[in-house]
Structure 1
């Protein structure tokens, strides 16, 4: 009689089944959560230059060899922009083996903050009851669903971040986000800040002889102020200008106080988070709605009806996530209109 084992698995057994129904088998979300936590911990350790405990106890030569391996290993959640420049790095939000989002060109001092933020985000995901009101949790859920042939969650057109409820995966760290390159609110904000900077320069050079003034100051009128009296520069009307026109104003302000008002306005605009604007702030909300209305798809002879906003019978909708109108596209080959994806 043969003494050889007939077990094709060589005696290897799976984990003991726990009585609890929910724990009998790992759910797909739990599998992806565990891998995400493993990857982010490895990424933090690599950023810190930390080696595994068993290597720390090894000989000096073994530690040197292992550290050389670590330096050549690509971290899952971060990468340097340039190999010879370690002052900036990109941080990657990954789930289920894919990149969901990347914040680019983060200063070195803030990279670890972003990585720990990702770790906290992964930890808070409940794999059995994920918060499908959170835009980033929805992205994770749908990636898992895609890989395990499950039904995806289709969010509504009004999906948005709740600043009081939803955790930011990057812990508030801001770099350059390619995913928000079409953010029209950001473009309007940058335009408003540039015009305000020019208005400040204009007022600061008011008493400078004309031949010494910058050319743009001599030839261009500022959008954020005008003389209260045509024949005097003692007082000014100061405007909160936004692409599309004047939003608010104060009148008959003495010159020095007008400069102070413009400075305060610059601080206000600089404090606006262009990626996650605080829409609880009445003024920010007003500016946001102006951008939304100004860029709203309009009727035209060449425009397809499907490109109109949903409330006008079309399929386009405003995204509170990327701050732009999301439109579908017409496929000339098939002569069909592809509706815009939800949750963009």
Structure 2
């Protein structure tokens, strides 16, 4: 091969590589422009001060999922204007909940080889009070009405409740003493008035009644149960079958939860139900889609929950009494908490 031919080939190769590089840059710029446009079309989000003890009326706090520099940060809006501009805190959480000036923030810690996770207890100014290692991928978090107790659930194997190949770990911390029950599976289980033991017990989805009593899901033998927990006695007492991710009403008389229904798809098996704890009568809500979330009571008659959305999740609302229709509440948001 002559020197001239080699030079021609080299020149063509350089031109080809340059064209490829230019194309890649233009494509990246195009994608960035699309993302900017998506942000422009979404909710307005700006940095600011977020307090868990608001003084300007009732507020809604969420994990913001809108594209942009504040994605995954805890953000707040007025409760009566959920689609309004959001104030972002700078604190990032995978799961979050707050009550009475206490917050629980489940975070990922990105490592060179793998991610680890932690549970961070926050004060009313979102400053860290204490952190605890979390054994797996965060999935649920709750604070007691007084702010004295926090709970979280993680997956220690598997990543979905839809199948059967998963294991959870649920912990409860007393923020007054920093005592921790790091695995509620160690509590004594009482079923039909008798002690129950099994190697396959999983517990998840705590919802607090007060500083001693709570409700949660217990799974064993291929079934799920609503259990009432007693922190002082360290017991879990079964109450009702086919209950997952319970959420106690503000007056303590009802539990909202997701229930597996016959005939539903195996990857979308749940419907949102409400159980009257006095009569043990359950009734479906008007939400007919599969809800894979721990619903939140916005007030005594309204439930808030997440469904898949364009940017991860959107928040929806439905009446707890089964009437009406499901309605969108807030786009690009998850993990809500009402303050005030």
* TM-score (norm: length of structure 2): 0.23
Larger radius of gyration: 1
* TM-score (norm: length of structure 1): 0.23
Larger proportion of strand: 2
